[in-house]
Amino acid sequence: MIHQTAQRTKPHSSIHWTLLIILLIGAWFRWASLGRMNDMLHYDEAYNGIDAASLLDAPRLTPFFPDNFGRESGWHYLAAPFIAIWGATPFSMRLLSTMLGILTLAAIYPLGQELLGPTGATWSAASLAVLYWHVHISQLALRAILFPLLGVLALACLLNARRTNTRRAWLCGGLFLGLMAYSYFSALLWIIYTVLSLLAWTRSSERRRGALIALTIAAVLALPLVIYTIRDPAHTLTRTNTVAAASMTQIANNSLLWAKAWFETGDTIPEFNLKGRPILDPYLGTLVLAGLAGLFLAVRRKWDSLWLLGLALFAMLPSILSENAPHFLRAVGLTIPISLLTGAGAQTAQRLVQRISGRNTLALLLPLALLSASGAIAYRDFHQRWLNHPETFWFMEEHVNRAANFIKANTAGAMPVYLAPFAPGHPVVILRSRDLAPRYVGTFDPQQCLVIADRPAIYVALTQYQPEFEQTMSKWLEMTILDQDRNAAGKRPRYTVFRAAPRADAPLAGKTTFMFADTLRLRAIQPISDTARPGQRIPILLALDTRRPLKRPYSVFVHLYGDPAPAQGGAIWGYGDSQLCVSYPTNFWRPGESVLQQFTLNVAPNTPPGDYDIAVGVYESPAGARLPVTNPESPPADYILLKTIHVQQ
């Protein structure tokens, strides 16, 4: 009796140890570059982080976040505690995504066991552990990685429920099926396929009650998102409508692109794939083809072979029915059928070799060697080729994140930080600003304006695109290099971090000051010629600052007035209107900084000779009321006379 128990326990224990090894290998594939990727955060990833962080600032229940074309909320609720513990950093969000990917390796085993048995399930988990596609997507802080995990859990529970007909299994399947609605919009096709499967199972009176329980649980859980969609379809359907294929011709072309994606050219969007890398390398492809050939014999229930192929088709459909095919993020659910087919192929190869050789150990070597070779290629392609690709540096915003990490570790917390050239609404800047608190973080484009701090500050410049930044700023500030892109040795650095301090001899002090609404101060800091000609363009450099935070963007007009002035019926003989620093609008300005911007006054070609006044005023953008002049206290009340010039023939 003891001997029989030992015989039953040993294989079971062996499988557990094998699965543990697979999970460790999968974790190594997904965590090996986690520290390196703390310098990377893509635009879309940052948006997810912002929304997850907002749940900490304002806890609430919502099925959907409408920004950035709209996103289901499941990943964000999982990310919130990670951000609470490790901060608003790429590391905290990537840790979540990689953990979801690793959990999927564990979850695919019970699904594979229902379809293929223990041996096929083990090979399926091993193939998913080294599948490049899943390795890559697991390391992106995107909500799509939640979809395969919930999909696998739902199917594993439901297939188990189909076999055992236990209430617990039906409840489990309904739970994960309902939660899948909050993962990623592509999950809808997987949900539809699963619901169709459940409806087919209701034909059996034995399983009808359980299947209906699962459908009911799923419907109740998905109801908040359904209600949200009915109330606000413009937001929830924006992404689907934006990327939908325009015609049957495009769908047919997408199908051809997917046919090529397996062994020829995969997704060319570099965020989701090593650009153009096919889904299968020769080694993994051999196992997938073996899986297709032996699938009917590998599955425990023969009709499940067709069911699995149907699941693969429904997983591809979100990309086939949309633009930019083959789109690996939208079709991320396909990683699961691929791994199951690979598991079936490995099992088929193992059985074939065992029959020929009669040796179980030798039979293990062939699929193991193929998976090992495929894993080595996947590891190289991600951790070496993709991570170090020059294009990856820019679209993963590595310059911003490296600079942010350096600043956080090496500068005082009170120093303001300015990034150039960037816009204030850039999600990576917004999220990393949270991580850099209490430092204030501002942005500006030096081609539009300059922001000059009146105290020590940090400036980050994209040196590769703004090589003259240091020279330009040195007229106003003492610039000291703190850090530069070390991976660009021998070349122009891609970015530079400066420490800046105000210069005592900077040409800002001692200039005539004009005040608007007791809030905005204006100074002309560049000499203006006394004479001009019709049609001439006159450059006017102004410095503006604010005494208190402003609530809206403002613009400046620069006009040329004659006698009589326009208020008395005269004409305007020159224009030079512009919004104040579009890349750093006035509603972002803070006391303690000056914004320098050059305006161009275009003298009308038909301007008669004579004396004219350069008039300057401030008004609400885009065409609101003018701000009153409060210094000097003299008419006219809504503009100042900057200079009188003489227009010659």
Per-residue pLDDT tens for 436-454?
Answer: 999 999 999 999 999 999 9
Q: Tens of pLDDT along 58-67?
A: 999 999 999 8
pTM over 0.95: no
Helix ranges (H only) for 232-359 are 233-236, 238-243, 248-261, 282-298, 304-320, 335-357
Whether the pLDDT of residue 5 is over 60: the answer is: no
Which residue has 């203006």 as its token pair?
Answer: 528
pLDDT at 2: 35
Percent of the chain having pLDDT more than 70?
97
Whether the pLDDT of residue 156 is over 90: the answer is: yes
Q: Tens of pLDDT along 222-235?
A: 999 999 999 999 88
pLDDT at 510: 59
Q: Tens of pLDDT along 578-599?
A: 999 999 999 999 999 999 999 9
Which residue has 């995504």 as its token pair?
Answer: 97
Q: What is the mean pLDDT of residues 303-311?
A: 96
490 pLDDT band, cuts 50/70/90, is low
Gyration radius of the chain's alpha carbons: 32
Closest listed residue to residue 184, CA positions, set 294, 274, 352, 64: 64
Cα 453 to Cα 451: distance, rounded to the nearest angstrom: 6
Which residue has 């000291």 as its token pair?
Answer: 480
Is 533 in contact with 610 (CB distance < 8 Å)? no
pLDDT at 204: 84
Tokens of 140: 């992106």
Per domain, the residue ranges of the chain are 45-392, 403-502, 513-647
Tokens of 297: 């014999």
Is 497 in contact with 608 (CB distance < 8 Å)? no
12 pLDDT band, cuts 50/70/90, is low
Q: What is the mean pLDDT of residues 109-130?
A: 97
Q: What is the mean pLDDT of residues 478-496?
A: 84
E-strand ranges in 472-584 read 477-484, 496-502, 513-516, 520-524, 531-532, 537-546, 554-561, 574-575, 578-579
Chain-centre distance of CA 599, in angstroms? 36
Q: Which residue type occupies 549?
A: P
- Tallying the residues shown for the chain, one arrives at 649
Q: What is the mean pLDDT of residues 326-346?
A: 97
Higher-scoring residue by pLDDT: 240, 383: 383
Cα 546 to Cα 640: distance, rounded to the nearest angstrom: 17
Closest listed residue to residue 348, CA positions, set 304, 292, 425: 292
Q: What is the mean pLDDT of residues 517-527?
A: 91
Residue 535: HSE in the Cβ half-sphere, 13 Å Cα cutoff: 3
pLDDT at 635: 65
3 pLDDT band, cuts 50/70/90, is very low
Percent of the chain having pLDDT more than 90?
84
Q: Which residue type occupies 107?
A: A
Mean pLDDT is lowest, of 230-244, 342-356, 502-516, for 502-516
CATH number of 513-647: 2.60.40.770
pLDDT at 418: 96
Higher-scoring residue by pLDDT: 252, 205: 252
What average pLDDT does the structure give for the chain?
A: 92
4 pLDDT band, cuts 50/70/90, is very low
Q: Tens of pLDDT along 597-648?
A: 999 999 999 999 999 999 999 999 887 899 999 988 776 789 999 999 999 9
pLDDT at 114: 96
